[in-house]
């Protein structure tokens, strides 16, 4: 199979020759191993019980093997992390170790943070720019740099295509399958999480059916900041015996540790605080295709406006999934630009901004997501408000759409189709 180059590849190429160890972290199936393998002289796969047993008996095999050494699923032998850390302490030569992990360390497992020795990079499913739909013409990095760069370009990617992309998924091993096979694989992905991944990570799932219902309710809360109690009530509607809050919290924490839940944190500016901001995250699964499959609405239904949502006041289910697709892609681009992504909402929802991307210099790009081809004055009012609050700290403002053209409005706000937005 021909390797499909990822946005993170450029970042790894830039960093790896100078760093002793890089860890790629993300959910199973996002492509971590394929990316790391492009650079490895030695591959140690810890999902192989025999290899795992040997390494547990002699951790020095990691440092003795020809470099670069890839340790795949390092968290299965947590002591490897500290062994690599010590090896980098002893010899800081760049390009020595690559670690991939589809889970954080299990609770109670004591490992050093690795700060200064092992650099962690997140990997997510394929961003839209990585899917071969066309060449992006608008760079997030350029927007963050300020100066209101020129915005132009055209695309023939339309609403039906974005809908298909949501359902196809960004998992490299799933998206190119025939529709029925793809659906089976997505179902299997969820089943594996409930039946295998959580138990293998020390979580006793006593009520698998309830956990599946909770995942479906979480998926239906995509792109909202619904409370955890609201999600639980939606998952157990009509049931008198609900799982204990502590049980649900345990599931949630472990699903985040497995990178299956990918919540978007709330944002507030560091040096120009805004008042009355909410602190709750917006809910997202690792891939909107999983949310779509859990809720069970196909392409025709999505385009008709079908789909039940949890705690949503406005918008459609397709709109929520499109926002999740945009969020997933923007987070990929932000990693490449050394930036962080959050959402902003004031208490009472007087003002909200779907995405705020903040660079290392504390300047930000604000983004609204609109499931439409056109943008009116009503659609940019929150962006204009945020610009008044932040002044020069707001490097740019963008509305991400499903339309055909990228351009700037007379008020300076950029209108950019998702297919034309890139790193």
* Mean pLDDT, 10 residues at a time, the chain of 423 residues: 92 96 97 97 95 94 96 94 94 96 70 72 98 97 96 98 98 96 97 89 84 94 94 86 83 94 92 79 98 95 94 90 98 97 91 96 96 96 95 96 98 98 98
Q: What is the pLDDT of residue 198?
A: 87
Q: What is the pLDDT of residue 304?
A: 95
CA angle in degrees (0–180, nearest 5) for 220-226-231: 60
Q: What is the pLDDT of residue 268?
A: 84
Q: What is the pLDDT of residue 154?
A: 98
Q: What is the pLDDT of residue 82?
A: 93
Q: What is the pLDDT of residue 107?
A: 58
Q: What is the pLDDT of residue 111?
A: 56
Two tokens, residue 123: 């990997």
Q: What is the pLDDT of residue 204?
A: 82
Tens-place pLDDT, residues 274-316: 878 888 999 999 999 999 999 999 999 999 999 989 988 789 9
Q: What is the pLDDT of residue 244?
A: 81
The CATH T-level fold of domain 7-122 is Rossmann fold (3.40.50)
pTM: 0.95
Q: What is the pLDDT of residue 245?
A: 82
* Domain spans of the chain, in order of start: 7-122, 128-422
Cα separations in angstroms, 261 against 257, 327, 373:
8, 13, 30
């Amino acid at each position: 199979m021909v390797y499909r180059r990822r946005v993170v590849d450029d970042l790894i190429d830039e960093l790896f020759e100078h760093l002793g160890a890089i860890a790629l972290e993300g959910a199973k199936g996002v492509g971590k191993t394929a990316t790391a393998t492009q650079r490895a002289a030695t591959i140690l796969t810890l999902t192989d019980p025999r290899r795992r047993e040997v390494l547990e008996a002699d951790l020095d095999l990691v440092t003795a093997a020809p470099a670069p050494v890839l340790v795949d699923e390092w968290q299965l032998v947590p002591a490897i992390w500290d062994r690599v850390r010590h090896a980098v302490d002893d010899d800081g030569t760049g390009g020595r170790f690559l670690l991939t992990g589809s889970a954080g360390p299990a609770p109670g497992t004591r490992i050093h943070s690795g700060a200064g020795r092992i650099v962690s990079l997140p990997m997510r499913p394929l961003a839209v720019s990585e899917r071969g739909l066309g060449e992006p013409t608008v760079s997030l990095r350029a927007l963050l740099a300020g100066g209101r760069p020129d915005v132009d370009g055209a695309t023939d990617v339309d609403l039906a295509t974005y809908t298909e992309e949501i359902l196809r998924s960004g998992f490299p091993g799933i998206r190119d399958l025939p529709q029925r096979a793809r659906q089976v694989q997505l179902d299997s992905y969820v089943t594996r999480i409930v039946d295998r991944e959580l138990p293998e990570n020390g979580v006793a799932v006593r009520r698998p059916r309830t956990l599946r219902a909770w995942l479906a309710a979480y998926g239906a809360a995509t792109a909202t900041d619904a409370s955890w109690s609201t999600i639980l009530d939606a998952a157990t509607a009509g049931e008198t015996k609900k799982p204990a809050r502590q049980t649900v919290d345990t599931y949630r924490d472990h699903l985040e540790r497995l990178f299956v839940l990918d919540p978007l944190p709330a944002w507030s500016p560091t040096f120009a605080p805004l008042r009355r901001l909410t602190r709750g995250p917006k809910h997202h699964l690792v891939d909107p295709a999983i949310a779509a499959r859990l809720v069970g609405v196909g392409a025709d239904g999505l385009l008709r406006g079908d789909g039940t949502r949890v705690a949503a006041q406005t918008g459609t289910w397709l709109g929520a999934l499109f926002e999740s697709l945009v969020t997933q892609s923007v987070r990929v681009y932000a990693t490449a630009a050394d930036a962080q992504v959050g959402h902003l909402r004031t208490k009472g929802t007087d003002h909200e901004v779907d995405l705020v991307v903040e660079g290392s210099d504390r300047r930000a790009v604000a983004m609204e997501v609109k499931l439409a081809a056109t943008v009116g004055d009503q659609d940019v009012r929150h962006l204009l408000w945020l610009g008044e609050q932040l002044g020069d700290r707001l490097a740019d403002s963008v509305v991400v759409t499903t339309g055909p053209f990228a351009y700037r409005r007379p008020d300076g706000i950029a209108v950019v189709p998702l297919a034309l937005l890139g790193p």
